[in-house]
Chain A
Amino acid sequence: MTGHRFTIHRVAAMLGKEFLQMRRDRMTIGMLIGIPLMQLFLFGYAINMVPRHLPTVIVVSDPGPFADSMIAGLNNSSYFAIVKATASRPEARQMLAENRVAFAIEIPANFSRDLVRGAAPNLLVEADATDPAAGSYATSAVLGLATTALRDDLVGPLAARAAQPAAFNVVVHNLYNPEANTQYNVVPGLLGIILTMTMVMATSIVLTRERERGTYENLLAMPTRPFEIMVGKITPNIFVGAFQAALILSVARLVFHVPMIGSYGLLVFAGTVFITALLAVGYTISTIATNQMQAMQMTFFFFMPSILLSGFAFPFRGMPEWAQWVGEVLPITHYLRIVRGILLKGNGMVEIWPDIWPMILFLFAAGTIAVLRFRQTLD
């Protein structure tokens, strides 16, 4: 009598059945292989905690003999990539605001004269500190430059200036976030991450659920158009997303004391574009996934790069070019820049526009795919 005991043949029967079912679910197996591979490549290749070649604008208020050497020295340090030399401070500020550069380094007026006189002039370094971690290595590198950059110039009569103490001082301004408070970076970033996760997940099951329950056939048998179904399915989640965003921003403001310099209206506008783009992704997943488990896996497949390649978890500029390109496609990358720009830099429409249109483009692409993928028949 083996009926009430543990028997190996029943375990074997169960095992056999589970393996058979697992083998039939191709999508799950694909994801089980695909997700670890993606993680390996993203963590292995794309992440670099010490970003180099950070775009830098140099403000040359003193086009003296040392300016060229400074530029060469900065470039050689490999931490900086001088993208522009300008004489205009406002222009440099604008480039910082628009996130086109991470640093503005100014060679102030009379730099050469003061240096020759031994008056130890100041080299001004303005760092975009909205992501304090990203620029910290470069900031320390520029301090080292004080002693090395001009070594070749300070010869002959100027040899005395090459000696200690340094011939010039480096003054670093942590722009937008003077105390280099990482919460100012992380909390607005979390806004994007939380929205990405919840919005895509919530939408990814809307059609899948109808299909699983058999109500999809009924919906299609009635005179509803694909676009009508999509708008009806997506709109409630826009409100959920708006509520979430308001909640997170309130906590950011009241608990973490994240500054709020720019306009709330602009934040709402950018948030709406972002949320709608995410919902279009979720809806596209929903037209593909045959069950809710698959929908979750595909959501995760979208969520991973959103965390890793957006500049949320790791410095965006530290990633190799291909990873940056992938990052540029993701709406969250642009949304993070916009949110940090509005909250910390007080950016207006002009400054955020370069990050608004890629999100709109993404929204249209994802929306088109979703509508095209939507089958009005059961074929």
Chain B
Amino acid sequence: MAIDVHKLTKHFGKKIAVNGIDIAIPEGQVWGFLGPNGSGKTTTIRMLCGLLTADAGDGTCLGYDFRTQTDEIKRETGYMTQKFSFWEDLSIRENLEFVARVYGLPNRRQLVDATLEKLGLTKRQKQLAGELSGGWKQRLALAACTLHSPRLLLLDEPTAGVDPKARRDFWNEIHALASEGITVLVSTHYMDEAERCDQIVFISAGNLVARGTVADIIKQSGLITFTIAGDNVRPLVDKLKGQPGVQSVAFFGALLHISGYDRSLLERALAPFRSDPKLVIKETEASLEDVFIQLQETTAKDSTGVPR
């Protein structure tokens, strides 16, 4: 197990940020970490790499006690922060050189040269990191935090604000790293990214809500989803919301998704619109996004925490 922690807990003042989470990730897997903003994803990642002290919980990270052996963990972990956190007033090369020196890596020059070559930044190595575009910054950050060949990668929303092409390249890189045996925990808001993960952990308001493969999570949810297509579906949103049995109503592109747990109640809610010839109502398999919006809405109602 690359990560094996139990009852991970963190408070900020009276607010509970992470509430007794268990995470166990086998080595060489890519796990997705999902949850609404402020649900405790960043806090959890920071606790795993020793940037925050856990209030409670025990376990290991790369075989080291995550509470006491943070130095050992740091040496073998790459952590990519949500916001670009390399030095914008240093050049690309200087940033990589600094990281290489901090970790005391041998053959520094060759290593940095090779990394620049792989990134395709050899010609721009003297450019300041602050001048790079979002996508390049993200690539540089990934290269810098994998420079010391870590066994574990913790990525905190690495693809926020990055264009689709760069996102796809980034994920190819992640899978390449995983095939080399690196364990990856990546937090994200993108469903397509979540679907690329071996397993998913979903947390809400500091609580672990669901865990498993995409198929497992969809199946476990027991969610039934109908789509409505047509010329003028927009007014239906207000009519369907709050109907008994209707858990969520949301647009997916031009399609309106209506989800719930009780088939007969859903059918009853949809019945008045069946007669409209302009509308096409079909049952579909619930998507991951349906499940997550559903999970998010139910847990938000249950939680006594800060509304988000």
Complex partner residue of B85 from A217, A223, A224, A379, CB under 8 angstroms: A217
Is A8 interfacial (CB-CB < 8 Å)? no
Give a binary string over A215-251; 1 marks a CB under 8 Å from any B CB, 0 the rest: 1111011111000000000000000000000000000
Complex partner residue of B74 from A213, A216, A222, CB under 8 angstroms: A222
Give the docked Cα–Cα distance between A68 and B18 (Å): 81
Give a binary string over B66-104; 1 marks a CB under 8 Å from any A CB, 0 the rest: 000001001101010101111110000000000100110
Give a binary string over A178-219; 1 marks a CB under 8 Å from any B CB, 0 the rest: 000000000000000000000000000000000001111110
Give the docked Cα–Cα distance between A218 and B95 (Å): 12
Is B52 interfacial (CB-CB < 8 Å)? yes
State the Cβ distance, B195 to closest chain A Cβ, in Å.
28
Give the docked Cα–Cα distance between A222 and B79 (Å): 9
- CB neighbours (8 Å) of A223 from chain B are 71, 74-75, 102-103
Give the docked Cα–Cα distance between A215 and B83 (Å): 9
Q: Is the CB of A215 within 8 A of B51?
A: no
**Interface size on A (CB < 8 Å)?**
14
Q: Is the CB of A378 within 8 A of B52?
A: yes
Give a binary string over A139-167; 1 marks a CB under 8 Å from any B CB, 0 the rest: 00000000000000000000000000000
Q: Is the CB of B75 within 8 A of A220?
A: no
**Interface size on B (CB < 8 Å)?**
21
Give the docked Cα–Cα distance between A214 and B50 (Å): 17
- CB neighbours (8 Å) of A224 from chain B are 102
Q: Is the CB of A377 within 8 A of B74?
A: no
State the Cβ distance, B150 to closest chain A Cβ, in Å.
11
Is B189 interfacial (CB-CB < 8 Å)? no
Complex partner residue of A215 from B49, B53, B85, CB under 8 angstroms: B85
Give the docked Cα–Cα distance between A216 and B84 (Å): 11
Name the interface residues of B38-66: CB closer than 8 Å to any CB of A: 46, 49-53
- CB neighbours (8 Å) of B46 from chain A are 378
Q: Is the CB of A217 within 8 A of B81?
A: yes
Give the docked Cα–Cα distance between A322 and B12 (Å): 42
State the Cβ distance, B56 to closest chain A Cβ, in Å.
14
Q: Is the CB of A377 within 8 A of B85?
A: no
Closest partner residue, chain A, to B12 (CB atom):
A379
Q: Is the CB of B86 within 8 A of A221?
A: no
Give a binary string over B113-147; 1 marks a CB under 8 Å from any A CB, 0 the rest: 00000000000000000000000000000000000
- CB neighbours (8 Å) of A221 from chain B are 49-51, 74, 77, 79, 81
Complex partner residue of B81 from A214, A377, A379, CB under 8 angstroms: A214
Complex partner residue of A214 from B52, B75, B84, CB under 8 angstroms: B84
Give the docked Cα–Cα distance between A221 and B85 (Å): 11
- CB neighbours (8 Å) of B103 from chain A are 222-223
Give a binary string over B189-227; 1 marks a CB under 8 Å from any A CB, 0 the rest: 000000000000000000000000000000000000000
Q: Is the CB of B84 within 8 A of A220?
A: no
State the Cβ distance, B227 to closest chain A Cβ, in Å.
42
- CB neighbours (8 Å) of A220 from chain B are 51
- CB neighbours (8 Å) of A213 from chain B are 85, 87-88
Q: Is the CB of A377 within 8 A of B50?
A: yes
Give the docked Cα–Cα distance between A377 and B52 (Å): 5
Complex partner residue of B86 from A218, A377, A378, A379, CB under 8 angstroms: A218
Given A377-B51, A378-B51, A218 contacting B102 (CB threshold 8 A)? no
- CB neighbours (8 Å) of A216 from chain B are 85
Name the interface residues of A252-279: CB closer than 8 Å to any CB of B: none
**Residue in A220, A223, A377, A379 whose Cβ sees the most chain B Cβ within 10 Å:** A223
State the Cβ distance, A110 to closest chain B Cβ, in Å.
76
Q: Is the CB of B52 within 8 A of A379?
A: yes
State the Cβ distance, A221 to closest chain B Cβ, in Å.
4
Give the docked Cα–Cα distance between A220 and B85 (Å): 11
Given A221-B79, A223-B74, A379 contacting B87 (CB threshold 8 A)? no
Q: Is the CB of A215 within 8 A of B99?
A: no
Closest partner residue, chain B, to A209 (CB atom):
B89
Give the docked Cα–Cα distance between A365 and B221 (Å): 60
Give a binary string over B257-269; 1 marks a CB under 8 Å from any A CB, 0 the rest: 0000000000000
Closest partner residue, chain B, to A228 (CB atom):
B102
Given A215-B85, A223-B102, A379 contacting B74 (CB threshold 8 A)? no
Q: Is the CB of A215 within 8 A of B71?
A: no
Closest partner residue, chain A, to B81 (CB atom):
A217
Give the docked Cα–Cα distance between A377 and B48 (Å): 12
**Residue in A213, A218, A379 whose Cβ sees the most chain B Cβ within 10 Å:** A218
Give the docked Cα–Cα distance between A215 and B99 (Å): 12
Q: Is the CB of B102 within 8 A of A222?
A: yes
Give the docked Cα–Cα distance between A224 and B98 (Å): 12
- CB neighbours (8 Å) of B75 from chain A are 223
- CB neighbours (8 Å) of A378 from chain B are 46, 51-52
State the Cβ distance, A204 to closest chain B Cβ, in Å.
19
State the Cβ distance, B7 to closest chain A Cβ, in Å.
19
State the Cβ distance, B8 to closest chain A Cβ, in Å.
15
- CB neighbours (8 Å) of A214 from chain B are 81, 83-85
Q: Please name the 10 residue pairs, one residue from A and one from B, whose CB atoms are nearest each other, closest first.
A: A218-B85, A221-B79, A223-B74, A214-B83, A214-B85, A222-B102, A223-B75, A215-B85, A378-B51, A217-B81
A interface with B by C-beta (< 8 Å)? 213-218, 220-224, 377-379
| 8 residue pairs from A and B, CB less than 8 Å apart | A213-B88, A214-B81, A214-B84, A218-B81, A218-B85, A220-B51, A223-B75, A223-B102
B interface with A by C-beta (< 8 Å)? 46, 49-53, 71, 74-75, 77, 79, 81, 83-88, 99, 102-103
List 8 additional contacts besides A216-B85, A223-B74, A378-B46; criterion CB under 8 Å. A213-B85, A214-B84, A215-B87, A217-B51, A221-B51, A221-B77, A221-B81, A377-B50
